[in-house]
Amino acid sequence: MEVTFLGTGTSMGIPMIGCRCDTCTSSDPRNNRLRTSVWIQKKKKNIIVDTGIDFRQQALRYAIPTLDAVLFTHHHVDHIFGLDELRPIHFLQNKTVKVFGTSETREHLLRVYPYVFEAGNCPSDVPKIEYHTFSNEPFIFIDIKIIPIPLFHGNLPIMGFRLDNFAYCTDVSRIPRSSYSLLENLDVLVLGALRDSPHPTHFTLSEAVDEAQKIAARRTYFVHMSHELSHQEMLNRLPAQMEPAFDGLKITL
């Protein structure tokens, strides 16, 4: 399994429009962060977690050849506003992308993208998706087992995902007790860490480090960082088995 980080930034992206802070004006490319998403290649299938605002740019930059499935963590704009960019998969490849999300995410997608769920549209106009609703139970995509990990993003229940010994948990501010057993014995944990000052719907970096220590994956990568956290500064502060992810980072499991 290969995982490529397509984006590692918070909802506004880094640099942030109009900001002149050290991170936003940094010449270190690792401080340039598109909206958080990962591309998983497994058993010759291409799966992405979330279609964020930057999906088109990410697909071109990292040469994503096609898509077989999308896993949605939740319905926030920075995680769903690239769904329309799946149109070329339909238009050029006449392919249906399987989309997996909760019933709540489906409701919000229906509201934002009603035309995607209507039949009979011209292939150039709509992405062709097949929506599959999951709840807390593991599900199978072809022959790939995907374990949803219930999480809280403020009061909003959202999902993380586990595939083999890889788990992806972005936009989280609380891990329910029952989810820790789903995060045992991980080779890689990807965990959201927004900034240093407290936030109602995201872990701070120190909260994320505490959680990562509790979960004790062999390696933890942080994502969804704001401009308050620069890459090098995070590297300097983090324990040896933890590091910030950056756009384009590729890991093989």
75 forms part of the interface with Zn ion (CB under 5 A): no
In the complex, least distance from residue 95 CB atom to Zn ion, rounded to whole angstroms: 27
Q: For the beta carbon of residue 21, count every other beta carbon within 10 angstroms.
A: 13
Indicate the residue type of 107. Answer: E
19 forms part of the interface with Zn ion (CB under 5 A): yes
253 forms part of the interface with Zn ion (CB under 5 A): no
Residue with smaller CB distance to Zn ion, 76 or 90 = 76
**Which residue of 30, 75, 90, 227 would you call a contact of Zn ion, by CB under 5 A?**
227
Residue with smaller CB distance to Zn ion, 7 or 127 = 7
**Which residue of 68, 171, 207, 247 would you call a contact of Zn ion, by CB under 5 A?**
171
In the complex, least distance from residue 52 CB atom to Zn ion, rounded to whole angstroms: 8
In the complex, least distance from residue 132 CB atom to Zn ion, rounded to whole angstroms: 21
Residues 6 or more apart in contact with residue 151 via CB below 8 angstroms: 157, 158, 159, 160, 169, 171, 172, 174, 175, 176, 179
77 forms part of the interface with Zn ion (CB under 5 A): no
Nearest-5° angle of CA 235, CA 240, CA 244?
Answer: 35
**Which residue of 2, 21, 123, 206 would you call a contact of Zn ion, by CB under 5 A?**
21
In the complex, least distance from residue 230 CB atom to Zn ion, rounded to whole angstroms: 10
Residue with smaller CB distance to Zn ion, 153 or 162 = 153
Q: Give the side-chain half-sphere CA count within 13 A for 146.
A: 30
Residue with smaller CB distance to Zn ion, 30 or 227 = 227
Residue ranges of alpha helices (H) inside the chain are 55-61, 77-80, 87-93, 103-112, 205-215, 231-237
Indicate the residue type of 56. Answer: R
DSSP 31-86: G-B-BSEEEEEETTEEEEE---TTHHHHHHHTT----SEEE-S---HHHHTTGGGG
Phi, psi angles (nearest 5°) of residue 232: -65, -40
Q: How many residues bind Zn ion (CB under 5 A)?
A: 8
12 forms part of the interface with Zn ion (CB under 5 A): no
Interface residue list for Zn ion (CB under 5 A): 16, 19, 21, 24, 76, 78, 171, 227
